[in-house]
Chain A
């Protein structure tokens, strides 16, 4: 079946621009996660949704980062006034529900801020 998809796959932004990254989780998956992966590093947790509720946003680096999942399916990660340090791969993952261990990852969006 279809896995987690993300778009765009690549995004180049000028410093100060706003960007929006989209995640389509596996159909029926209740839990959705966003991670940030810097070059040569492991993914780092950003935020967690259970259906449309954002239950944890402790990993968001600053108030320029905002995530939403209004209908409990597709999610968008928005970064306002991008900075060079925001350059990274942004990964989305979903799992069946909050009691399920396995997280399935999408291919990621590589963001480059010039």
Chain B
């Protein structure tokens, strides 16, 4: 089955800096890679996603890159703000199960200091 590794587990940056979180996956058949933000006491919220036929996607301060050959994908947050502080999860999914079965990484706790 699919296995997703995520690092770093914690990341501290100053406001205005960039933050990068990296994930690797094991199954080359995985074809959809969402990123979720989870704040304390809340459920995960989708912030950006990428499909296997695309190498990069950007949405304002957030971007995701995908390297299918190396089987890794990364989240890039620019101009970080204190409200970006949260736990971020990457995930990979397989379609061969007939539905999107999400396999999550272990999470990155991002702390943005003013």
Contact = CB atoms under 8 A, between A and B. Distances in A.
Contacts, number: 65
A101 B43 contact: no
Interface in A41-72: 41-45, 48, 50, 55-56
Interface in A66-110: 91, 93, 95, 98, 100-108
Given A101-B49, A102-B49, A105-B45, A56 B99 contact: yes
Contact of A31 (B49, B97, B99, B105): B99
Given A42-B89, A91-B43, A102-B34, A50 B104 contact: no
A41 B34 contact: no
Main secondary structure on B side of the interface with A: strand
Contacts of B32: 101
Interface of B: 4, 6, 32, 34, 36, 41-46, 49, 51, 89, 91, 93, 97-107
16 contacts: A40-B106, A41-B107, A42-B104, A43-B102, A45-B103, A93-B43, A98-B98, A100-B100, A101-B32, A101-B49, A101-B51, A101-B93, A102-B46, A103-B46, A105-B43, A105-B45
